[in-house]
Structure 1
Amino acid sequence: MKLVILGGGGFRVPLVYRALLADRSPGRVTEVVLHDLDASRLAAVCGVLAELAADVSDAPTVTASTDLDEALRGADFVFSAIRVGGLGGRAADESVAAGCGVLGQETVGAGGVAYGLRTVPVALDIARRISVHAPDAWVINFTNPAGMVTEAMTAHLGDRVIGICDSPVGLGKRVARAAGVEVADAWLDYAGLNHLGWLRGVHVRGHDVLPDLLADAERLESFEEGKLFGAEWLRSLGAIPNEYLHYYYFTREAVASGASRGAFLLDQQKRFYDAPSLESWERTRLEREQTYMAETRDEERDADDLDGGGYDQVALELMHAIASDKRATLILNVPNRTTLTCLDVDAVVEVPCLVDANGARPVAVSQVPDEGVGLVTSLKVVERATIKAAISGERAHAVKALALHPLVDSVAVARKIVDTHPLLFGGDARRGTA
């Protein structure tokens, strides 16, 4: 089976390859093609993958190409993890937003809109070319903003593009551990959009263990989200929000922190790419995980919280379920159909899905909490306004997308962001990697 990784020079590609090396199931990936526009980054990552595979018999072959059409031909699966504008673009998104007094996080608020404006045109071009050169391939999208980009790509790929994110799975693992159950035995009742969802139940053999966890403050505040939000607020919600909702519930504090994750990662990863090796990659990866969302915490992350969802494992499970027609239930980004009543059938949502050879189909969930409906519907309007602006290239649509975002909520600020951002509307935003 052939897997093509777009953004193949990206820092997290070795995570995917390491998961493939450990996979010994029938129908596993035997050929990996890395595509990137930056040949030097491709060479750096290929070197790390060679070290990973050094003592592994029958490891998947790895080739690299800067020619997208060539890379795509014959693909069974395409994994998209591109970063348009590179980490320099992310740093610009964050600094411009901060300079305008609003949140600059890369997928949330002004930063997320700016990232989407750059990314959607490239993602649409990729989708068109996949439909020509690999029409039977399944596309797994990890490119952020994941929900928005997945929805845009459905215009050319339909249900053959599926978005993934490790945040809901990581949340499920941490909550299950705190509740004293195995996540593999649990049904996670989760609903929302990418980076905007709520875990409303953890069902084990027909019993929901979440209410007991919510009633126990000590256990509730023993893991990442409990520390972020606090037991009192979680009890008020009656649910466990995705960690990214911290930016909505504690907006002033997040803006005041002034943290720029993009600038940190840009400097950190430059050191790796200047002297790439498996050892330096492992060291850099651990530092990256330890400092994830550091602006929201007063202390270092616990070792247990470093065990996130593992997007590499999500991607692997998704590929297995489709390729082997082996049923699995995964939280994915797919068209809504009739799952969430607050959104239309075509809106891409993040919910549990049943996956098999026919793809991914959303299943019934407990809906978005009443107090979250406004956020979800507002953000879907923003996503679609951003897609329209990205396709049309019209400044007015970009201003509208930003002004409608609840974390911007000002036409004047939206205009300032659009007019001062160096990579929007005429700036040079080449496609790079995460």
Structure 2
Amino acid sequence: MKLAVVGGGSTYTPELIDGFARLRDTLPIEELVLVDPAADRLDLVGGLARRIFAKQDHAGRITTTTDIDAGVADADAVLLQLRVGGQAARNKDETWPLECGCVGQETTGAGGLAKALRTVPVVLDIAERVRRANPDAWIIDFTNPVGIVTRALLQAGHKAVGLCNVAIGFQRKFARLLDVNPSEVHLDHVGLNHLTWELGVRLGGPDGENVLPKLLAEHGDAIADDLRMPRQIVDRLGVVPSYYLRYFYAHDEVVRELGTKPSRAAEVAAMEKELLAMYGDPTLDEKPELLAKRGGAFYSEAAVDLAASLLGNGGSPVQVVNTYNNGTLPFLPDDAVIEVQARVGHDGATPLAVPALDPLYAGLIANVTAYEDLALEAALRGGRDRVFKALLAHPLIGQYEYAEGLTDRLIAHNREHLAWA
């Protein structure tokens, strides 16, 4: 089995490598190729990756290349974890929206749109190269904004599934609180990527006992603290919203906070510098503790599980993924990409049935889906007017004065990445 990781020079990658090494019985990789245009980072990450495999007695071969075509040749699956423009572009995404009084974040709002515009054309080009190399290869997308990117891939006819670590993070957290094995915890996880709610927490399987009321009663303070939301709000909802919902439920509060501290991109850039120095140490043969602060917790376990299921090598039969709606949420078009529990196998992902949603959630899902329609159109076809309409449609913006100002700033800060600008 051959896997390729595009964006393999990311400081995330040792987390992925550690998972591949530990879970080799689930996903027996014979060859792993790390692909990245940054040769210097690739050398550092690749060296550590080989040492991690060696320490854990993994017999798989790890190679590195800056050549996408060479890297994906004959791959059974390709994982996408790239960031067009790097942390410098992310820093802009997180700062210039604040000038208009709107949240600055790399996956939602104006910053999220900027990332989609930069990313979708690049991902589609890579996907075409994968298809030419092996039409049967699966593409697993971890590249944000996952929902929009996965939809672009699916609409172009690629064998693709989107992946996010939010659900597995909640699963592991709830398992700790309940003192059970994570495999016993199943989530009624519903929504769009980075716009989800845990409507239930079930023990033993998708039809098991819902222990969410017990979790909220006994651990509500800890859950609310992690979400950075008031306990009374979580109790009134009776569900656990993704921490990304704070951008919607407390937008103005978040904007004020963001204006008083360095961007997350600046923090991550400093952390990456330190991590890369560590990766260059020839005695380091495990992922460093600092990597846990970088983000992407449990990404490796989720990626291994998904790849194993898609490649017919076991894996959990039910996983939270991003895939076509196909009637699951009846108020959305079939080709909307949703994030829900799905049955996953060598034929792809089929969403499980979802009960009728409260309008409080369905309304926001429908609104953001409409924005994502317009965002994908802007990413595929370009044009200032399409960017403006997408921004105007976004519930975190929604006023023409803001949309005009944000459009000008988005284009100015991203001109080098926009072929049409």
Same fold (TM over 0.5): yes
1:429 Cα offset (Å): 7.2
Is 1:382 matched with 2:385?
no
Partner of 1:191: 190
What does 1:133-152 align with in structure 2 at a 5 Å threshold?
A: 133-152=133-152
Partner of 2:171: 172
Is 1:284 matched with 2:273?
no
Kindly indicate whether the alpha-carbon contact (under 8 Å) linking 1:226 and 1:234 is maintained by their aligned counterparts in 2. no
Which segment is superposed worse, 326-335 or 48-57?
Answer: 48-57
What is the percent sequence identity of the aligned residues?
34
AA aligned to 1:261 is R
Q: Secondary structure at the match of 1:332?
A: strand
Partner of 1:50: 50
Kindly indicate whether the alpha-carbon contact (under 8 Å) linking 2:110 and 2:410 is maintained by their aligned counterparts in 1. no
Is 1:366 matched with 2:355?
yes
Q: TM-score scaled by structure 2?
A: 0.91
Is 1:320 matched with 2:319?
no
- Which segments of 5 or more consecutive residues in structure 2 lack a partner in the other structure? none
* Residues 259-307 of structure 1, C-alpha deviations (whole Å, 9 max, x = no match): 4111221232134335633659625314435xxxxxxxxxxxxxxxxxx
1:62 Cα offset (Å): 1.1
Return the match for 1:350 from 334, 339, 350: 339
Matches of 1:110 and 1:237, distance apart in 2: 27
Q: Secondary structure at the match of 2:416?
A: coil
Matches of 2:138 and 2:346, distance apart in 1: 10
CA RMSD of aligned residues (A): 2.2
* Residues 86-124 of structure 1, C-alpha deviations (whole Å, 9 max, x = no match): 110000111111122110111121111111111111111
Partner of 1:265: 268
Alignment coverage as a number of residue pairs: 409
Q: 1:332 to 1:108 in 2, by over 3 A?
A: same
Q: 1:384 to 1:415 in 2, by over 3 A?
A: same
Matches of 2:26 and 2:338, distance apart in 1: 31
Partner of 1:11: 11
Q: Secondary structure at the match of 1:339?
A: coil
- Which segments of 5 or more consecutive residues in structure 1 lack a partner in the other structure? 290-307
Kindly indicate whether the alpha-carbon contact (under 8 Å) linking 2:174 and 2:185 is maintained by their aligned counterparts in 1. no
Kindly indicate whether the alpha-carbon contact (under 8 Å) linking 2:192 and 2:365 is maintained by their aligned counterparts in 1. yes
Kindly indicate whether the alpha-carbon contact (under 8 Å) linking 2:12 and 2:294 is maintained by their aligned counterparts in 1. no
Q: Secondary structure at the match of 2:375?
A: helix
What does 1:120-139 align with in structure 2 at a 5 Å threshold?
A: 120-139=120-139
Q: 1:238 to 1:412 in 2, by over 3 A?
A: same
AA aligned to 1:122 is V
Matches of 2:64 and 2:412, distance apart in 1: 28
Partner of 2:329: 340
Kindly indicate whether the alpha-carbon contact (under 8 Å) linking 1:89 and 1:423 is maintained by their aligned counterparts in 2. no
AA aligned to 1:253 is E
Matches of 2:42 and 2:128, distance apart in 1: 24
What does 1:87-236 align with in structure 2 at a 5 Å threshold?
A: 87-158=87-158, 160-204=159-203, 206-214=208-216, 216=217, 218-223=218-223, 228-236=228-236
Q: 1:60 to 1:369 in 2, by over 3 A?
A: farther
* Residues 203-249 of structure 1, C-alpha deviations (whole Å, 9 max, x = no match): 225321112233x2x52112366652233111211211111111111
1:51 Cα offset (Å): 2.6
Kindly indicate whether the alpha-carbon contact (under 8 Å) linking 1:35 and 1:71 is maintained by their aligned counterparts in 2. yes
1:149 Cα offset (Å): 0.4
* Residues 140-193 of structure 1, C-alpha deviations (whole Å, 9 max, x = no match): 0000001110001112334x2000001011112223433454432233111100
AA aligned to 2:163 is I
Matches of 2:7 and 2:176, distance apart in 1: 33
Return the match for 1:397 from 386, 392, 401: 386
Q: 1:274 to 1:184 in 2, by over 3 A?
A: closer
**Bigger relative contact order, structure 1 or 2, given CA contacts below 8 A and separation 6+?**
1
Kindly indicate whether the alpha-carbon contact (under 8 Å) linking 1:74 and 1:134 is maintained by their aligned counterparts in 2. yes
Matches of 1:354 and 1:275, distance apart in 2: 39
Q: Secondary structure at the match of 2:83?
A: strand
Kindly indicate whether the alpha-carbon contact (under 8 Å) linking 1:27 and 1:324 is maintained by their aligned counterparts in 2. no
Matches of 1:24 and 1:68, distance apart in 2: 25
Kindly indicate whether the alpha-carbon contact (under 8 Å) linking 1:176 and 1:202 is maintained by their aligned counterparts in 2. no
* Residues 401-426 of structure 1, C-alpha deviations (whole Å, 9 max, x = no match): 11211112222222222322466563
1:41 Cα offset (Å): 1.3
Kindly indicate whether the alpha-carbon contact (under 8 Å) linking 2:198 and 2:239 is maintained by their aligned counterparts in 1. yes
AA aligned to 2:14 is P
Q: TM-score scaled by structure 1?
A: 0.88
